[in-house]
Structure 1
Amino acid sequence: MSRNVGDEMMRLLEVLRHQPTDKWVRARLGGRIVADSRAALLVWEPRRIVPTYAVPEADVRAGLVPVEAAPASDLPVLHPGIAFAAHSTPGQAYDVRLGDEVRERAAFRPDDADLAGHVLFDFDTFDWTEEDEPIFSHPRDPFSRVDIRRGSRHVRISRDGVLLAESHRPTLVFETKLHPRFYLPRADVTAEAVPGDMVTACPYKGRATYLSFAVGENLAWTYSDPLPEAAQLAGLVAFFDEVVDVTVDGIPRKRPDSPVAKVMKDEFGIS
């Protein structure tokens, strides 16, 4: 019987996973080395949708002070907005000490034989490089890809009956395990938009700023200076399909039931 690859990947979400990497990985705090490794692992805790780095203890340059772990998380999905300290597998938490600097619960050693001798570090707490390139937001997933394709579909986006954008020249972004996104020329955004109050980072595309409308805040985002791999997206505008109504070639699309929808409802009151 043939199996759907996407479904199989989602089943793995429930288990502790790891993948070796050949990248030279370094973490810094204020310019000082916390970890320096050529034998790092990418680790996904159960229900974590993005990986973090674990390094052999011998490659750690900072002090690790054992502390009581935070209560185990029972959230169905641990998206990047969920703090590193919310672990979903048993283990020992540590404060990281480097000279006079202390970062609370910024390291974790899982109780797992396959990860013995490795320590996970909070990505957001430190400055990271792969080889000599800085990276941000989270490590890239080697099993994910982002495909950017110009299109000619007729895309209409509205909310509460108000037309926000309409275009026959969308750029479509297909990202593994995520719903497609429609990026539209700014000229095709028909409703008045003002700068929102959020800035987020994507390791594949760059730093995004947000746009708000009369019918909702931070409903859309744009990359003014995307990473080279996503240069086609510069200046285009994408909307959260989770909270707007999208029609493509005259066919309404169902709003995705994704972790993003829950975050927008719980943290921003948008539904």
Structure 2
Amino acid sequence: MTKITIRNAPGKWVVRAGGAVLGETDNALELTEGEYPPVIYFPRGDIAMAFLDANAHATQCPHKGTASYYDIVTKSQTLENAAWSYEDPLENVARIKDHLAFHPGDYVTVEQV
């Protein structure tokens, strides 16, 4: 089985999309899964959810459960499936419930500040 580690991410974290700050938190979680790069999960309460639209896309992870996806709506574009959340995660990763992760790329940045 793939080893998953969840720890409190040190410091302050910010996520931006299209130049706008979507969220900032001192309470991020860092999830490391096997050889994949770590993923930062933001508490839902620290994200401006008005910029996110839930969509019908979902994926299944044997180690975390079913991921629900969100589009990020900026002034100039919609970034499809740019954020995800495990609404009902498996017991071994229960800490990520009520948290969101983001696909960093050309229009989305996740960074420690």
TM-score, normalised on structure 1?
A: 0.37
Q: Deviations over 1:152-172 (max 9, x none)?
A: 421111122011221110011
Q: Which runs of 4+ in 1 moved over 6 A?
A: none
Q: Which residue of 1 aligns with 2:111?
A: 247
Any gaps of 5 or more consecutive residues in structure 1? 1-141, 251-271
Higher RCO (CA 8 Å, separation ≥ 6 residues): 2
Report the 3-state secondary structure (helix = DSSP H, G, I; strand = E; otherwise coil) of the residue aligned with 2:110.
strand
1:151 aligns with 2:15: no
Q: Which residue of 2 aligns with 1:182?
A: 40
Q: Which residue of 2 aligns with 1:209?
A: 68
Higher strand share: 2
Report the 3-state secondary structure (helix = DSSP H, G, I; strand = E; otherwise coil) of the residue aligned with 1:245.
strand
Report the 3-state secondary structure (helix = DSSP H, G, I; strand = E; otherwise coil) of the residue aligned with 1:158.
strand
TM-score, normalised on structure 2?
A: 0.85
How far residue 175 of structure 1 moved from its aligned partner, in angstroms, is: 1.4
Tell me the C-alpha RMSD between the 2 structures. Answer: 1.5
Match of 2:85 among 214, 218, 222: 222
How far residue 191 of structure 1 moved from its aligned partner, in angstroms, is: 4.9
How far residue 199 of structure 1 moved from its aligned partner, in angstroms, is: 0.4
Q: Deviations over 1:184-233 (max 9, x none)?
A: 11111125122123100111100010112213121111111111111111
Q: Deviations over 1:57-84 (max 9, x none)?
A: xxxxxxxxxxxxxxxxxxxxxxxxxxxx
| Number of aligned residues | 107
Report the 3-state secondary structure (helix = DSSP H, G, I; strand = E; otherwise coil) of the residue aligned with 2:16.
strand
Give identity over the alignment, percent: 29
Report the 3-state secondary structure (helix = DSSP H, G, I; strand = E; otherwise coil) of the residue aligned with 1:246.
strand
